[in-house]
Amino acid sequence: MPTHASHVLVVEDDEVTRAKLAGYLEAAGHRVSEAADGADMREAFAAEQIDLVLLDINLPGEDGLDLTRDIRRRSDVGIILVTGRTDDVDRIVGLEIGADDYVTKPFNPRELLARVKTLLRRTMGTARVDAVHKTFAGWTFDTRTRRLVSPQGERLSLTRAEYELLSTLVEHPGMVLGRERLLSHITHRTWDPSDRTIDVLVRRLRQKIEPDPKLPEFIITAHGEGYIFAAEVSER
């Protein structure tokens, strides 16, 4: 295995599912570690550098949502939740508390690997090569380092999904961007009307950058169409 192979941690209590996930990832050239629960996951984090976590929601004891919160307190590593098709509420909560994406069981191997590849591109810092500082309404956003600084000089932390969404919005100020286009850019997943990923990410971003998230000034909803970034954006 090449030393530069990305390191993916699979957290799944079912041995058969865990082995299947690990097999897909290893066949695609990734280095894989496995964990059956939260304790195993923490040991893996303490022992080595992890680039991405594939995390099952329905774990015994500490479930995937608890572990997502725990990971986010200490790391901005990429997190993809593994969910059942009936886990809509948990999936939305997972995105709200910091997960970057999700896959549903039973998973299509090609779809799974595409999601992993997309998120790892961001994890490994190869998704964007421009080092432009964008400014809007007193905010400063470095699109390479993901450094977002408020008008008061406070640095805010962004998850990778939040970063990709804000990057897309500031690159197209004043334009209506549909949910399908935004979702394709962030996750390369095809949008369907029941998919609320973009709405959840917009809500998270509004909580961080809007003076009043309930009356947004920057990220405006275009009803029936998508979202508009209404602030004036400049580069420096």
Residue 197 or 210, more confident? 210
Q: State the amino acid at position 124 in one-letter form.
A: M
pLDDT digits (tens, 9 = 90+) for 194-205: 678 889 999 999
Q: What is the pLDDT of residue 127?
A: 43
Q: What is the pLDDT of residue 227?
A: 95
Worst-scoring range by mean pLDDT, 74-78, 154-158, 182-186, 203-207? Answer: 182-186
* Residue whose pair of structure tokens reads 């602030």 in the numeric block: 231
Picking from 173, 186, 168, 180, the residue whose alpha carbon sits closest to that of residue 230 is 173
Confidence at 146, pLDDT banded by 50, 70, 90: confident
Q: What is the pLDDT of residue 213?
A: 94
Q: How confident is the prediction for the chain on average, in pLDDT? A: 86
CA distance 67 to 87: 16
Q: What is the pLDDT of residue 95?
A: 86
Determine whether domain 7-123 maps to CATH 3.20.20.70.
no
Angle at 94 (CA atoms; ends 89, 95), nearest 5 degrees = 100
Tell me if 227 sits within 8 A of 167, measured CB to CB.
Answer: no
pLDDT digits (tens, 9 = 90+) for 93-132: 888 888 988 888 888 888 888 889 888 876 665 444 444 7
The pLDDT of residue 70 is above 60:
yes
Considering the chain, what percentage of its residues have pLDDT values greater than 70? 90
Question: Which residues neighbour 184 within 8 Å (Cβ) at sequence distance 6 or greater?
Answer: 190, 191
Average pLDDT estimate for 197-224: 93
Q: What is the pLDDT of residue 28?
A: 92
CA distance 135 to 122: 22
Determine whether domain 133-235 maps to CATH 3.30.70.3170.
no
Other C-beta atoms closer than 10 Å to the C-beta of 177 total 20
Listed by start position, the domains of the chain span: 7-123, 133-235
> Is this prediction's pTM over 0.85?
no
Q: CA–CA distance from 51 to each of 57, 68, 128, 154 (Å)?
A: 19, 15, 18, 27
pLDDT digits (tens, 9 = 90+) for 1-25: 344 689 999 999 999 999 999 999 9
The pLDDT of residue 191 is above 50:
yes
Q: Would you list the DSSP string of 97-161?
A: TT--EEEESSPPHHHHHHHHHHHHHHHTT-S----PEEEETTEEEETTTTEEE-TTS-EE---HH
Tell me if 25 sits within 8 A of 32, measured CB to CB.
Answer: yes
Q: What is the pLDDT of residue 7?
A: 94
Q: What is the pLDDT of residue 124?
A: 64
CA distance 83 to 156: 29
